[in-house]
Homo-oligomer: A and B are copies of this chain.
Amino acid sequence: MKKAPTDAIVQIEGHIVDSDILSEVFDLIIKGGGKFEIRDFVIGKTNIETSVAQLRISAPTKEKLNLLLNLLNAKGCFVVTEQAATLKRALKDQAVPDDFYSTTNFRTEIRLNGRWIRVTNQRMDGVIIVTGGKAAVRKLREVTKGELVVCGLNGVRVHPEFKSRERGDFSFMSNEVSSEKKVSLAVDKVAEMIRKRQGKLVIVGGPVVIHTGAVESLCRMIRGGYVGGLLTGNALAVHDIENALFGTSLGVDTSAGTPVDQGHRNHMRAINQINLAGGIKNAVRRKILRSGIMYELVKAKVPFVLAGSLRDDGPLPETITDMNEAQAAYAREIKGAEMVLMLSTMLHSIATGNMLPAWVKTVCVDINPSVVTKLADRGSSQALGIVTDVGLFCHLLADRLCKQ
């Protein structure tokens, strides 16, 4: 009782030959148990023209065909017959029909009332909610019972980032994560990207930034107006304040480099001082806190978010201890970012990466190659990974940016 084979015609456009898209499409079909026939193939004959391919895809069962279309959708293939997106109602708060469409981080359009409309608030692993003729990505937990959710693949079109033939600046070292590279070249590149940016530069950092001695470098960048926001956790702020108040970070004297015993005491003392002052901003106002990254941010009115973590001491009053709220605060600050610089923090960097649309440039710096690989590998041509010492990197970067 084998089901009758079924087929569908899909189309894909773009620099599909000289990116790897077409190979991947063929691959997916064969691996998914399907077959294909190339109905039409107009290949771009010069560097500028895009190509268009139309394929007839057949699969042994309706289910397999749907699975295939599902996979191909993420690569930019859309079913040629232009059907409207299927909308179903959320079954209860935070729960949707099982065939819900799960978003990628690429630009996405859905077909509604005979037109393709852009989905806003693009991010990975969300659902698309339609209200008042508009479509936006939402986290599952933000869905309310009865809302209209896009389901299945009909009328959903994804625009993956094609690698451009004409290599732009950003392609430098992409896919090239290695500690065996000349870092000063990468610093030049990043400095140039920062200078040329139109939108905001957001920094995501971990406490290693303090331990490796990048405090003064980041302070210079903040004073220079280069930093549009800092996304971090309680620890960076605690150690920055410990350093500002007592000259140590994690119990190590930051100018002599020698361990001072009772360093743990110092970080607890720092938290206690800030608690007494009623928070970081108050501590700056009362002139208790008079230097360091947190001080400069407050002075320059640059927004920061301290997201809590299970391993926190304290935490400081400004730390957001609820993770849903912290994610929302991160998402708020990322809006309008053109570029994100991730410094030595896997937790905050992955969290941020999950929220970013594919077209935001990310630069990830860490001394551990596996962290860089993980972060730079976001299915986007916009991620640059640099394996090096974060303290020295920031020092060189601040020098490049803040020359006088």
A residues apposed to B, CB below 8 Å: 17-20, 22-23, 26-28, 30-32, 35, 37-38, 41, 43, 45-47, 67, 70-71, 74, 91-92, 94-96, 98, 100, 102, 124-125, 140-141, 165-167, 172-173, 176, 179-186, 189, 208, 211-213, 233, 250, 252, 254-259, 261-262, 264-265, 267-269, 271-273, 275-276, 307-315, 321-324, 326-327, 330, 347-348, 350-351, 354, 367-370, 387-389, 391-393, 395-396
Contact = CB atoms under 8 A, between A and B. Distances in A.
Contact of A323 (B27, B261, B309): B309
Given A183-B391, A307-B310, A309-B309, 10 more contacts: A31-B167, A70-B265, A95-B275, A182-B211, A183-B392, A185-B213, A308-B323, A309-B323, A370-B370, A392-B396
Contacts of A388: 367, 389, 392
A310 B330 contact: yes
Nearest to A44: B38
Contact of A179 (B233, B252, B368, B393): B368
Nearest to A182: B213
B182 A212 contact: yes
Contacts of A257: 172-173, 181-182, 185-186, 189
Copies of the polypeptide in the assembly: 4
A140 B268 contact: yes
A272 B309 contact: no
A264 B104 CA distance: 9
A276 B91 contact: yes
Contacts of A275: 92, 94-95, 140
A122 to B, nearest CB: 15
A353 to B, nearest CB: 9
A315 B311 contact: no
A250 to B, nearest CB: 8
Given A182-B213, A307-B310, A98 B269 contact: yes
A203 to B, nearest CB: 16
Given A140-B275, A179-B368, A264 B124 contact: yes
Given A182-B391, A322-B322, A272 B98 contact: yes
Most buried by B among A19, A32, A267, A308: A308
B347 A311 contact: yes
